[in-house]
Amino acid sequence: MTTNESITDATPTLSLEVFWSWLVTHPNCIVRAGTKEAVIYDDEDLHWHLANEGPDTLLVQLVRGKRLVGEMLIPSEGIAFVQGVIGDQDGEYVFELVPEGESDGSAVYFFVMAHGYDVQEPLTSHRMH
């Protein structure tokens, strides 16, 4: 991937650390997140809370006011990489968290975003999109 490409030009493979650092700066860009068994959908009166729950667990919460609507705990130790793919719907970008030892590349968790990953973007403060 060249330095001016984003996921719209190619599908990146990222480490979980790089993806998570980017994701926490884009919580308002999450459209939905989940697993094969359950999906948490965004809505205009909800907000995403992303944090580390100890050294080995990532916390994803969807909150309305002070009420928890949905939550995922992701064990970071078992994730080999994150694969970005263009979504089925226009303007959707899917990031799949693939576990270690998965020969067919099946994701155990996914995040659908309103935009792709941009390799040129500095990973600093929260973004408001």
d(CA 58, CA 54): 8
pLDDT of residue 107: 87
Give the range of the structural domain holding residue 68, as residue numbers without chain letter: 13-113
41 falls within a domain: yes
Overall pTM > 0.85? no
How many domains, the chain? 1
The C-alpha atoms of residue 101 and residue 117 are separated, in whole angstroms, by 25
Percent of the chain with pLDDT over 90: 65
Model confidence at 9, pLDDT cuts 50, 70, 90, reads very low
Q: Is residue 101 part of a domain?
A: yes
Q: What are φ and ψ of residue 66, in 5° steps?
A: -110, 5
Q: Per the domain annotation, does 53 fall within a domain? A: yes
Distance between CA atoms of 75 and 52, rounded to whole angstroms?
A: 10
Q: CA 93 to CA 85: how far, in whole Å?
A: 6
Nearest of 86, 99, 85, 43 to residue 67 by alpha carbon: 43
CA dihedral 50, 98, 7, 34 (to 10 degrees): -50
**pLDDT, tens digit, 9 for 90 and up, residues 40-97:** 999 999 999 999 998 899 999 999 999 999 999 999 999 999 999 888 888 899 999 9
If you count them, how many residues does the chain have?
129
